[in-house]
Amino acid sequence: MPSLSSALALALALGQTAVQGSPVAPMVTPPPNPADVQKRADSCTFSGSNGASSASASQGSCSTIVLSDIAVPSGETLKLNDLEDGTHVIFEGTTTFGYEEWDGPLIRIAGTDITVTGAEGNLIDGDGSRWWDGEGTNGGVDKPKFFYAHKLHGNSIIKGLNIKNTPVQAISVNDATGLTIQDVTIDNTDGDDNGGHNTDCYDVSESDSITIKGAVCKNQDVSDSNNNLLTSLTLTFREGLPCHLNSGSNIAFTGGQCSGGHGISIGSVGGRDNNTVAGVNIEDSSVEDSTNGIRIKTISGEEGSVSGITYKDVTMSGITKYGIKFEQDYENGSPTGTPTDGVPITDVTLDGVTGSVTDDAERVYILCAACSDWTWSGVDITGGEASDDCEGVPDGASC
């Protein structure tokens, strides 16, 4: 899982069979006449099956790049990772991708002071049902990662995109600074009935000063999915969390709506190149119909740190396992029941964390060997039952 310096296309019943054998995504609109690129001063418009390669080849000479009904060929990346500073990229119409069993990514954008926006009615359609086999990244066919927002710096922003049915993880943020992701909708709910797995919305790692606000992340029903939302604000997005954070610092997640995953999750922290999560603020957000409400987990026997974490005005409902879950015992993707102290969890504030869990769920579960300086106020989780297995609960918290 990464570190922070931190779980979407129409799934037609016939789509999987019809498209798998085709080496190129179907044309959405006729190619431009007479060429794929129309230059208008400093603005360039690209479309059709040649649009992705043309945009990549021309990225250094266009201050505004309009991607209009792009059909990315199979096994290729819509590659805009050599943009001039200040470039504006606009997704217009429907963007589609050909079928290929590979690692991806399908989209890669990098640069400084880059603006990526979606025009009204835009759709970036991953048509993930062609890859979904219930295995996610754990096996089955190779599935491409979706959108690499890597090496975005300065005051870059990604805003107003509508993403649907990603093969696996949706947006990966890595080696980024000062990036804002705003009003992006990721909808993977079709995977509930079609084998979607590990369709994390965000995976944030090795990044600093990242803001995610107004996020809508919809994943599969928690009974048969393993997805995180923050949402990977992973400060761990490797398990299909809608809201997931793996590592990083100075991260803000505000106004988010997370559903159908493992909740707003930080970790697992430890065992990576960067194992520090610091300065994470999660505010004015909701979690619905998920296995967990909020969660922090660290790796057993590893080293690192989690500090300066604030959850403020977070609501939850329909939580099936744990409303609040903090644990220091993860190993090989599963809890051991024995916490270790190599990744301390310190300076954790819960302010106005409220909501309900289902009858069989536990309201709060804390398993700590090195947790301190916690402040809780206005925490009110109803339903379910109290846990009998809490350990190492720090002053300021209750289990």
Give the residue numbers annotated as catalytic, written as ranges. 262
Report pLDDT digits (tens) over 253-294.
Answer: 888 888 888 889 888 899 888 888 889 999 999 999 999 999
Q: Residue type for 15, please?
A: G
Q: Where are the alpha helices (DSSP H) in the chain?
A: 15-20, 51-58, 191-194
Beta strands in 233-275 (DSSP E): 243-245, 248-254, 257-259, 264-269
Q: Which of 200, 274, 201 is nearest to 2 (CA)?
A: 274
Judged against a pLDDT cut of 80, whether residue 8 lies above it is answered with: no
Cα 244 to Cα 80, 179, 187, 337, distances in angstroms: 25, 16, 16, 22
Q: What angle do CA 271, 277, 281 make, to 5 degrees?
A: 150
Angle at 57 between CA 53 and CA 60, to 5 degrees: 140
Q: Is 273 exposed, middle or buried (0-12, 13-18, 19+ CB in 10 A)?
A: exposed
Please give the average per-residue pLDDT across 142-156, as a whole number. Answer: 97
Domain ranges within the chain, ordered by starting residue: 15-275
Average pLDDT of the chain, as a whole number? 85
Question: Which pTM was predicted?
Answer: 0.78
Model confidence over 23-39: pLDDT tens digits? 444 444 444 444 444 44
The CATH number of 15-275 is: 2.160.20.10
Closest CA to 124 of 103, 141, 109: 109
Nearest Cα neighbor of 212 from 131, 152, 279, 157 is 157
Q: Which of 189, 276, 186 is nearest to 231 (CA)?
A: 186
